[in-house]
Amino acid sequence: MSAGIRQGQLALIIWVLALVLVGLGIYLFALAGRMREEKKVFAFLIPATELYKIQDMKGLAGYLSGRVRILSIACMVFGLVLILYQLIHFPAYIAVAFALALLIVYLWFSRGLREGVKKF
C-alpha cells in the first residue's frame, strides 16, 4: 500500500491518468494542426480575457503551434509509458524519469506561452 490506497485502486488511478494523458495529447496534436492551418489561437490555451489583448493572432498561432505539438507528443508518450508500466511492470524510476521530462516540457511550454502573449 502507498498512502492508504490499495493496490487495485492505485492501478485504476494510473490507468485513468494514462488514458487522460493520451487523449489530451491527441487533442493537443489536432489543435496544433488547426492553429497552423487557421492561424488562430484557441481559448483552450489562453483565457478569453487575454485573447483580446493580442495584436498579432497569426504570429502567436505560428509561434505556439510548434510548442503545442511538442507538448502533445510529450503527453502521448508519457501516457503510453504509463500504460506499458501497467502491462509489463518495468522499474518505476523509468516512469518517474518520463514524468519529470513531461514536467520540464510543460514548464517550457508555459514559459513560451507567457512570452508569446507578451510579445504578440
Does 81 reside within a domain?
yes
Range of the structural domain that residue 77 is part of: 7-119
Judge whether 2 lies within some domain: no
- Residue 33 domain-assigned? yes
The verdict on residue 15 lying in a domain is yes
Query: Does the pLDDT of residue 38 top 70, yes or no?
Result: yes
Q: Record the pTM.
A: 0.87
The amino acid occupying position 119 is: K
Please say if the pLDDT value at position 2 is more than 80: no
DSSP label at residue 45: T
Question: Per the domain annotation, does 28 fall within a domain?
Answer: yes
Give the chain's domain count: 1
Residue in the block written with cell 523509468: 94
**Is 49 a domain residue?**
yes
pLDDT in tens, 39-86: 988 888 888 888 888 899 899 999 999 999 999 999 999 999 999 999
The b-or-e profile of 24-52 (16+ CB within 10 A means b, else e) is ebeebbebbeebbeeeebeeebbeeeebe
Q: Tell me whether residue 88 is in a domain.
A: yes
Is the residue at 1 inside a domain? no
Give me the pLDDT at residue 1, please.
Answer: 45
In this structure, are residues 41 and 54 in contact, taking their beta carbons and an 8 Å threshold? yes
Assess whether pLDDT exceeds 70 at residue 3.
no
